[in-house]
Protein backbone atom coordinates (compact mmCIF):
# COMPACT_ATOMS: atom_id res chain seq x y z
CA UNK A 1 0.00 0.00 0.00
CA UNK A 2 1.57 3.31 -1.11
CA UNK A 3 0.84 6.29 1.16
CA UNK A 4 -2.06 6.60 3.58
CA UNK A 5 -5.70 5.78 2.90
CA UNK A 6 -7.56 9.11 2.83
CA UNK A 7 -10.97 8.88 4.54
CA UNK A 8 -13.91 11.28 4.63
CA UNK A 9 -16.15 10.74 7.69
CA UNK A 10 -19.83 11.68 7.30
CA UNK A 11 -22.03 11.72 10.42
CA UNK A 12 -24.41 14.27 11.92
CA UNK A 13 -22.94 13.74 15.41
CA UNK A 14 -19.71 15.60 16.18
CA UNK A 15 -18.98 13.06 18.93
CA UNK A 16 -19.27 10.17 16.46
CA UNK A 17 -17.06 12.02 13.97
CA UNK A 18 -14.37 12.41 16.64
CA UNK A 19 -14.66 8.79 17.79
CA UNK A 20 -14.38 7.39 14.26
CA UNK A 21 -11.47 9.71 13.47
CA UNK A 22 -9.60 8.62 16.61
CA UNK A 23 -10.21 4.92 15.87
CA UNK A 24 -9.08 5.17 12.25
CA UNK A 25 -5.99 7.27 12.92
CA UNK A 26 -4.66 4.75 15.44
CA UNK A 27 -3.63 2.93 12.26
CA UNK A 28 -0.71 4.74 10.58
CA UNK A 29 -1.97 3.60 7.18
CA UNK A 30 -5.20 5.63 7.54
CA UNK A 31 -5.68 9.41 7.55
CA UNK A 32 -9.03 11.19 8.06
CA UNK A 33 -8.89 14.18 5.70
CA UNK A 34 -12.32 15.63 6.49
CA UNK A 35 -15.50 15.34 8.56
CA UNK A 36 -18.96 16.64 7.60
CA UNK A 37 -22.41 16.41 9.19
CA UNK A 38 -24.80 16.05 6.25
CA UNK A 39 -25.10 14.41 2.87
CA UNK A 40 -25.00 17.59 0.82
CA UNK A 41 -21.66 18.54 2.36
CA UNK A 42 -20.43 14.97 1.76
CA UNK A 43 -21.11 15.25 -1.98
CA UNK A 44 -19.27 18.61 -2.13
CA UNK A 45 -16.32 17.39 -0.02
CA UNK A 46 -16.00 14.26 -2.15
CA UNK A 47 -15.42 16.52 -5.16
CA UNK A 48 -13.08 18.85 -3.31
CA UNK A 49 -10.96 16.49 -1.19
CA UNK A 50 -11.03 13.35 -3.41
CA UNK A 51 -10.95 10.81 -0.53
CA UNK A 52 -10.07 7.15 -1.10
CA UNK A 53 -12.92 5.88 1.12
CA UNK A 54 -16.02 7.46 2.69
CA UNK A 55 -17.83 6.37 5.87
CA UNK A 56 -21.49 7.39 5.62
CA UNK A 57 -24.24 7.66 8.22
CA UNK A 58 -27.77 7.10 6.90
CA UNK A 59 -29.96 9.43 8.98
CA UNK A 60 -28.75 13.03 8.51
CA UNK A 61 -30.21 16.51 7.98
CA UNK A 62 -30.22 18.49 4.70
CA UNK A 63 -29.53 15.37 2.59
CA UNK A 64 -29.72 11.83 3.98
CA UNK A 65 -27.00 9.24 3.52
CA UNK A 66 -28.82 7.22 0.86
CA UNK A 67 -29.42 10.27 -1.33
CA UNK A 68 -25.82 11.40 -0.87
CA UNK A 69 -24.57 7.91 -1.76
CA UNK A 70 -26.56 7.89 -5.00
CA UNK A 71 -25.14 11.30 -5.98
CA UNK A 72 -21.58 10.21 -5.20
CA UNK A 73 -21.89 6.99 -7.19
CA UNK A 74 -23.46 8.88 -10.12
CA UNK A 75 -20.96 11.77 -10.20
CA UNK A 76 -17.62 10.76 -8.67
CA UNK A 77 -17.79 7.14 -7.48
CA UNK A 78 -15.90 6.22 -4.33
CA UNK A 79 -15.94 3.16 -2.06
CA UNK A 80 -18.51 3.95 0.65
CA UNK A 81 -18.87 2.07 3.95
CA UNK A 82 -22.26 2.69 5.57
CA UNK A 83 -22.65 3.13 9.34
CA UNK A 84 -25.78 1.16 10.17
CA UNK A 85 -28.15 1.29 13.14
CA UNK A 86 -29.15 -2.22 14.23
CA UNK A 87 -32.93 -1.97 13.92
CA UNK A 88 -35.37 -3.39 11.38
CA UNK A 89 -35.58 0.00 9.66
CA UNK A 90 -31.81 0.43 9.87
CA UNK A 91 -31.23 -2.96 8.26
CA UNK A 92 -33.64 -2.20 5.42
CA UNK A 93 -31.92 1.12 4.72
CA UNK A 94 -28.52 -0.58 4.83
CA UNK A 95 -29.48 -3.14 2.19
CA UNK A 96 -30.90 -0.38 0.03
CA UNK A 97 -27.53 1.39 0.32
CA UNK A 98 -25.74 -1.76 -0.84
CA UNK A 99 -28.06 -1.84 -3.86
CA UNK A 100 -27.20 1.77 -4.60
CA UNK A 101 -23.48 1.04 -4.70
CA UNK A 102 -22.08 1.07 -1.14
CA UNK A 103 -19.19 -1.39 -0.84
CA UNK A 104 -19.91 -2.55 2.71
CA UNK A 105 -21.48 -1.61 6.03
CA UNK A 106 -20.66 -1.77 9.72
CA UNK A 107 -23.15 -1.67 12.61
CA UNK A 108 -22.69 1.20 15.05
CA UNK A 109 -21.26 -0.26 18.28
CA UNK A 110 -24.00 1.24 20.47
CA UNK A 111 -26.58 -0.89 18.62
CA UNK A 112 -24.86 -4.30 18.82
CA UNK A 113 -24.41 -5.39 22.43
CA UNK A 114 -22.32 -8.45 21.50
CA UNK A 115 -19.53 -6.27 20.04
CA UNK A 116 -16.96 -4.54 22.26
CA UNK A 117 -15.49 -1.15 21.34
CA UNK A 118 -12.14 -2.79 20.55
CA UNK A 119 -13.85 -5.31 18.26
CA UNK A 120 -15.70 -2.48 16.53
CA UNK A 121 -12.46 -0.53 16.09
CA UNK A 122 -10.66 -3.52 14.55
CA UNK A 123 -13.62 -4.24 12.27
CA UNK A 124 -13.93 -0.62 11.13
CA UNK A 125 -10.24 -0.34 10.24
CA UNK A 126 -10.31 -3.65 8.36
CA UNK A 127 -13.40 -2.60 6.39
CA UNK A 128 -11.76 0.69 5.41
CA UNK A 129 -8.76 -1.23 4.09
CA UNK A 130 -11.00 -3.69 2.22
CA UNK A 131 -12.99 -0.83 0.71
CA UNK A 132 -9.74 0.79 -0.43
CA UNK A 133 -8.79 -2.35 -2.38
CA UNK A 134 -12.28 -2.81 -3.89
CA UNK A 135 -13.43 -1.93 -7.36
CA UNK A 136 -16.60 0.01 -8.12
CA UNK A 137 -17.97 -2.01 -11.04
CA UNK A 138 -19.00 -0.02 -14.09
CA UNK A 139 -22.06 -2.27 -14.25
CA UNK A 140 -23.22 -0.96 -10.86
CA UNK A 141 -25.73 1.48 -12.34
CA UNK A 142 -27.25 -1.20 -14.57
CA UNK A 143 -27.43 -3.59 -11.61
CA UNK A 144 -29.19 -0.92 -9.57
CA UNK A 145 -31.78 -0.44 -12.34
CA UNK A 146 -32.50 -4.16 -12.32
CA UNK A 147 -32.86 -4.18 -8.55
CA UNK A 148 -35.00 -1.04 -8.55
CA UNK A 149 -37.35 -2.68 -11.04
CA UNK A 150 -37.73 -5.70 -8.79
CA UNK A 151 -38.29 -3.44 -5.78
CA UNK A 152 -41.07 -1.62 -7.63
CA UNK A 153 -42.72 -4.86 -8.66
CA UNK A 154 -45.91 -5.30 -6.56
CA UNK A 155 -45.53 -7.77 -3.70
CA UNK A 156 -48.83 -9.40 -4.68
CA UNK A 157 -47.31 -10.33 -8.04
CA UNK A 158 -44.26 -11.86 -6.37
CA UNK A 159 -46.46 -13.80 -3.96
CA UNK A 160 -48.55 -15.02 -6.89
CA UNK A 161 -45.32 -16.19 -8.50
CA UNK A 162 -44.48 -18.14 -5.34
CA UNK A 163 -47.93 -19.73 -5.33
CA UNK A 164 -47.52 -20.66 -9.02
CA UNK A 165 -44.12 -22.12 -8.25
CA UNK A 166 -45.52 -24.25 -5.44
CA UNK A 167 -48.13 -25.68 -7.80
CA UNK A 168 -45.79 -26.16 -10.75
CA UNK A 169 -43.03 -27.93 -8.82
CA UNK A 170 -44.47 -31.40 -9.28
CA UNK A 171 -40.98 -32.58 -10.15
CA UNK A 172 -38.09 -31.24 -8.15
CA UNK A 173 -34.42 -31.50 -9.01
CA UNK A 174 -32.12 -33.62 -6.87
CA UNK A 175 -29.51 -30.87 -7.15
CA UNK A 176 -28.63 -28.65 -4.18
CA UNK A 177 -27.19 -25.18 -4.81
CA UNK A 178 -24.73 -23.59 -2.39
CA UNK A 179 -23.59 -19.96 -2.67
CA UNK A 180 -20.78 -18.34 -0.70
CA UNK A 181 -19.91 -14.64 -0.69
CA UNK A 182 -18.59 -11.80 1.46
CA UNK A 183 -17.76 -8.13 0.73
CA UNK A 184 -19.96 -6.98 -2.15
CA UNK A 185 -22.12 -10.06 -1.73
CA UNK A 186 -25.50 -8.65 -0.69
CA UNK A 187 -26.05 -6.73 -3.94
CA UNK A 188 -24.70 -9.68 -5.95
CA UNK A 189 -27.05 -12.08 -4.17
CA UNK A 190 -30.00 -9.77 -4.77
CA UNK A 191 -29.20 -9.87 -8.48
CA UNK A 192 -28.93 -13.66 -8.54
CA UNK A 193 -32.14 -14.28 -6.60
CA UNK A 194 -34.20 -11.83 -8.67
CA UNK A 195 -33.07 -13.49 -11.90
CA UNK A 196 -33.93 -17.09 -10.96
CA UNK A 197 -37.21 -18.38 -12.42
CA UNK A 198 -40.33 -18.90 -10.25
CA UNK A 199 -40.31 -22.62 -11.06
CA UNK A 200 -36.75 -23.03 -9.75
CA UNK A 201 -36.62 -26.72 -8.74
CA UNK A 202 -33.78 -26.83 -6.20
CA UNK A 203 -33.01 -25.50 -2.72
CA UNK A 204 -30.34 -22.81 -2.33
CA UNK A 205 -28.14 -22.62 0.77
CA UNK A 206 -26.30 -19.32 1.24
CA UNK A 207 -23.40 -18.22 3.42
CA UNK A 208 -22.95 -14.44 3.38
CA UNK A 209 -20.42 -13.04 5.85
CA UNK A 210 -22.66 -10.66 7.79
CA UNK A 211 -23.06 -9.61 11.44
CA UNK A 212 -25.47 -11.42 13.72
CA UNK A 213 -28.95 -9.93 13.53
CA UNK A 214 -28.69 -8.55 10.01
CA UNK A 215 -29.05 -11.95 8.33
CA UNK A 216 -32.73 -12.30 9.24
CA UNK A 217 -33.53 -8.89 7.74
CA UNK A 218 -31.47 -9.73 4.66
CA UNK A 219 -33.27 -13.05 4.19
CA UNK A 220 -36.59 -11.20 4.41
CA UNK A 221 -35.37 -8.73 1.79
CA UNK A 222 -34.36 -11.54 -0.58
CA UNK A 223 -37.76 -13.15 0.01
CA UNK A 224 -39.54 -9.89 -0.85
CA UNK A 225 -37.52 -9.31 -4.02
CA UNK A 226 -37.47 -12.88 -5.32
CA UNK A 227 -40.08 -15.35 -6.51
CA UNK A 228 -38.33 -17.96 -4.35
CA UNK A 229 -39.23 -18.42 -0.69
CA UNK A 230 -36.23 -17.28 1.36
CA UNK A 231 -35.64 -17.42 5.11
CA UNK A 232 -32.89 -17.34 7.71
CA UNK A 233 -31.98 -20.99 8.26
CA UNK A 234 -33.09 -22.74 11.46
CA UNK A 235 -31.76 -26.00 12.82
CA UNK A 236 -33.47 -29.03 11.22
CA UNK A 237 -35.23 -27.03 8.50
CA UNK A 238 -36.18 -29.51 5.76
CA UNK A 239 -34.35 -28.75 2.51
CA UNK A 240 -37.16 -27.97 0.04
CA UNK A 241 -37.13 -27.16 -3.69
CA UNK A 242 -37.63 -23.53 -4.65
CA UNK A 243 -36.55 -22.30 -1.21
CA UNK A 244 -33.53 -20.30 -0.10
CA UNK A 245 -31.84 -20.63 3.30
CA UNK A 246 -29.43 -17.97 4.61
CA UNK A 247 -26.92 -18.89 7.31
CA UNK A 248 -27.55 -16.90 10.51
CA UNK A 249 -24.80 -14.49 11.54
CA UNK A 250 -22.36 -16.14 13.97
CA UNK A 251 -23.55 -19.70 13.15
CA UNK A 252 -22.36 -22.34 10.70
CA UNK A 253 -24.76 -24.28 8.48
CA UNK A 254 -24.43 -27.72 6.92
CA UNK A 255 -26.46 -30.63 5.59
CA UNK A 256 -27.67 -33.79 7.31
CA UNK A 257 -29.48 -36.73 5.72
CA UNK A 258 -32.03 -38.85 7.63
CA UNK A 259 -34.31 -41.51 6.18
CA UNK A 260 -33.65 -40.29 2.65
CA UNK A 261 -34.49 -36.66 3.48
CA UNK A 262 -32.12 -33.75 3.82
CA UNK A 263 -32.12 -31.18 6.60
CA UNK A 264 -30.13 -28.07 7.48
CA UNK A 265 -28.06 -28.11 10.64
CA UNK A 266 -27.30 -24.80 12.34
CA UNK A 267 -24.52 -24.87 14.91
CA UNK A 268 -21.77 -22.89 16.62
CA UNK A 269 -18.17 -23.94 17.08
CA UNK A 270 -14.88 -22.34 16.19
CA UNK A 271 -14.42 -20.04 13.23
CA UNK A 272 -13.34 -21.88 10.08
CA UNK A 273 -11.20 -20.11 7.47
CA UNK A 274 -11.56 -17.05 9.71
CA UNK A 275 -15.35 -16.96 9.66
CA UNK A 276 -18.54 -18.10 11.36
CA UNK A 277 -20.61 -18.79 9.31
CA UNK A 278 -18.01 -20.30 7.03
CA UNK A 279 -18.47 -21.08 3.34
CA UNK A 280 -15.98 -23.95 3.70
CA UNK A 281 -18.19 -25.58 6.35
CA UNK A 282 -21.20 -25.47 4.01
CA UNK A 283 -19.32 -26.62 0.91
CA UNK A 284 -17.52 -29.45 2.75
CA UNK A 285 -20.88 -30.62 4.08
CA UNK A 286 -22.40 -30.52 0.58
CA UNK A 287 -19.47 -32.49 -0.82
CA UNK A 288 -20.09 -35.22 1.75
CA UNK A 289 -23.92 -35.31 1.61
CA UNK A 290 -25.01 -34.24 -1.88
CA UNK A 291 -21.77 -34.96 -3.74
CA UNK A 292 -22.31 -34.98 -7.51
CA UNK A 293 -25.74 -33.39 -6.98
CA UNK A 294 -24.05 -30.21 -5.70
CA UNK A 295 -23.86 -26.93 -7.60
CA UNK A 296 -21.52 -24.52 -5.79
CA UNK A 297 -21.06 -20.82 -6.51
CA UNK A 298 -18.34 -18.62 -4.99
CA UNK A 299 -18.58 -14.88 -5.44
CA UNK A 300 -16.99 -11.61 -4.38
CA UNK A 301 -15.11 -11.37 -1.08
CA UNK A 302 -11.73 -11.03 0.61
CA UNK A 303 -9.72 -14.03 1.82
CA UNK A 304 -9.95 -17.71 0.99
CA UNK A 305 -13.10 -18.99 2.71
CA UNK A 306 -14.88 -21.47 0.46
CA UNK A 307 -11.89 -22.27 -1.78
CA UNK A 308 -11.06 -25.56 -0.05
CA UNK A 309 -14.70 -26.65 0.11
CA UNK A 310 -15.43 -25.88 -3.54
CA UNK A 311 -12.43 -28.00 -4.56
CA UNK A 312 -13.97 -30.88 -2.61
CA UNK A 313 -17.30 -30.37 -4.37
CA UNK A 314 -15.61 -30.53 -7.77
CA UNK A 315 -13.70 -33.66 -6.73
CA UNK A 316 -16.98 -35.26 -5.61
CA UNK A 317 -18.50 -34.74 -9.08
CA UNK A 318 -20.45 -31.54 -8.42
CA UNK A 319 -20.41 -28.47 -10.65
CA UNK A 320 -18.68 -25.25 -9.61
CA UNK A 321 -19.00 -21.59 -10.65
CA UNK A 322 -16.96 -18.50 -9.75
CA UNK A 323 -17.83 -14.85 -10.27
CA UNK A 324 -15.20 -13.26 -12.52
CA UNK A 325 -12.78 -10.53 -11.50
CA UNK A 326 -14.32 -7.68 -13.50
CA UNK A 327 -17.70 -7.87 -11.71
CA UNK A 328 -16.37 -8.62 -8.22
CA UNK A 329 -16.12 -5.87 -5.62
CA UNK A 330 -13.24 -7.88 -4.11
CA UNK A 331 -11.64 -10.61 -6.23
CA UNK A 332 -10.34 -12.69 -3.35
CA UNK A 333 -12.14 -15.88 -2.32
CA UNK A 334 -13.14 -16.59 -5.91
CA UNK A 335 -9.59 -15.93 -7.13
CA UNK A 336 -8.17 -18.47 -4.65
CA UNK A 337 -10.82 -21.02 -5.68
CA UNK A 338 -9.82 -20.57 -9.33
CA UNK A 339 -6.10 -20.84 -8.52
CA UNK A 340 -6.70 -24.07 -6.56
CA UNK A 341 -8.39 -25.64 -9.61
CA UNK A 342 -11.82 -25.86 -8.02
CA UNK A 343 -13.84 -24.06 -10.70
CA UNK A 344 -15.56 -25.30 -13.87
CA UNK A 345 -16.91 -21.93 -15.02
CA UNK A 346 -15.69 -18.36 -14.42
CA UNK A 347 -18.49 -15.99 -15.43
CA UNK A 348 -19.65 -12.39 -14.85
CA UNK A 349 -22.34 -11.77 -12.24
CA UNK A 350 -25.01 -11.37 -14.93
CA UNK A 351 -24.34 -14.92 -16.19
CA UNK A 352 -24.41 -16.69 -12.81
CA UNK A 353 -28.22 -17.25 -12.64
CA UNK A 354 -28.24 -18.74 -16.17
CA UNK A 355 -25.32 -21.02 -15.35
CA UNK A 356 -27.04 -22.24 -12.16
CA UNK A 357 -30.22 -23.04 -14.09
CA UNK A 358 -28.19 -24.83 -16.75
CA UNK A 359 -26.60 -27.13 -14.15
CA UNK A 360 -29.80 -28.07 -12.35
Residue-range domains of the chain with CATH: 5-133 (3.40.50.2300), 154-359 (3.40.50.180)
The mean pLDDT of 328-342, rounded to a whole number, is 96
Torsion, CA 336, CA 337, CA 339, CA 342, rounded to 10? 170
Model confidence pLDDT, tens digit, residues 303-322:
999 999 999 999 999 999 99
Which residue among the candidates 64, 278, 305, 328 is catalytic per the annotation?
Answer: 305
Model pLDDT, residue 92: 84
User: How do residues 197-214 score in pLDDT, each as one tens digit?
Assistant: 988 999 999 999 998 888
Q: Tell me how far apart the 2 most distant CA atoms of the chain are, in Å.
A: 65
Residue 145 scores a pLDDT above 70: no
Pairing of strands 176-181, 204-208: parallel
Three-class DSSP category at 168: helix
Give the per-residue pLDDT at 111. 53
Q: Is 80 exceeded by the pLDDT of residue 30?
A: yes
Task: Using the predicted structure, report yes or no on whether residue 120 has a pLDDT greater than 90.
Answer: no
- Angstrom distance (rounded) from CA 140 to CA 101: 6
Question: What is the pLDDT confidence band of residue 88, given thresholds at 50, 70 and 90?
Answer: low
Whether 112 shows a pLDDT value over 70: the answer reads no
pLDDT tier at 343 (50, 70, 90 boundaries)? very high
Mean pLDDT of 84-101: 80
- How far is the C-alpha of 74 from the C-alpha of 66, rounded, in Å? 12
Task: Determine whether 182 is an active site residue.
Answer: yes
In this prediction, residues 9-24 reach a mean pLDDT of 95
Per-residue pLDDT, 114 = 56
Least confident range from 70-74, 119-123, 315-319, 324-328: namely 119-123
Q: What is the sign, positive or negative, of the torsion defined by CA atoms of 331, 51, 11, 140?
A: negative
Reported as a pLDDT band with limits 50, 70 and 90, residue 141 is very low
Give the per-residue pLDDT at 22: 96
Taking all residues of the chain, what is their mean pLDDT, rounded to a whole number? Answer: 88
Asked if pLDDT for residue 353 goes beyond 80, the answer is yes
| Amino acid 234: pLDDT | 98
CA distances from 22 to 26, 127, 187 (A): 6, 16, 30
170: confidence class by pLDDT, cuts 50, 70, 90: very low
For residues 38, 124, 274 and 238, what is the CA-based torsion angle, rounded to 10 degrees? -30
Whether 190 has a pLDDT exceeding 70, the answer reads yes
- Tell me what the mean pLDDT of segment 23-31 comes to: 97
Residue 143 predicted with pLDDT over 50 = no
What's the DSSP call for residue 316? T
pLDDT over 90 (residue 290)? yes
Least confidently predicted of 32-36, 38-42, 142-146, 294-298: 142-146
Q: Which of 209, 227, 237, 290 is catalytic?
A: 209
Q: Three-class SS of residue 262?
A: strand
Cis peptide before 277 (omega within 30 of 0): yes
- The whole-number pLDDT of residue 235 equals 98
Most trustworthy range by pLDDT among 123-137, 150-164, 192-206? 192-206
With a CB cutoff of 8 Å and minimum separation 6, the contacts of 163 are none
209 catalytic? Reply is yes
Res 110: pLDDT? 62
pLDDT score of 38:
97
Burial code (b: 16+ CB inside 10 Å, e: under 16) for 141-167 equals eebbebbeebeeeeeeebeebbeebee
What value does the mean pLDDT take over residues 235-253? 96
Cα–Cα distance for residue pair 78/153, rounded to 1 Å: 29
- What is the DSSP secondary-structure string of 343-360? -SEEE-GGGHHHHHHHH-
The catalytic residue among 182, 251, 294, 328 is 182
Q: Tell me what the mean pLDDT of segment 90-94 comes to.
A: 83
Q: Which residues contact 164 (CB under 8 A, 6 or more apart)?
A: 198, 199
Among 146, 157, 252, 160, residue whose Cα is nearest residue 193 = 146
- Give me the count of residues in the chain: 360
Active site residue 89: no
**C-alpha torsion angle, residues 110, 111, 115, 120 (rounded to 10):** -60
Amino acid sequence: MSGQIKVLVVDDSVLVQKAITEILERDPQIKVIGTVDNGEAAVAMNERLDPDVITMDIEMPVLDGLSALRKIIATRPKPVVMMSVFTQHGAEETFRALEYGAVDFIPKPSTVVSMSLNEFADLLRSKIKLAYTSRIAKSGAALFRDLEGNEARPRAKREAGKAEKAVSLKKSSTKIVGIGTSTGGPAALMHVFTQLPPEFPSPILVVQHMPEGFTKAFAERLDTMSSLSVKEAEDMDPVLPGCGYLAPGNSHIGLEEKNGKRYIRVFGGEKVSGHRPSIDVLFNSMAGISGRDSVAVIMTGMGRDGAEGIVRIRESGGRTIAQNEDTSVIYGMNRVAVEKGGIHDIVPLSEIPKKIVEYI
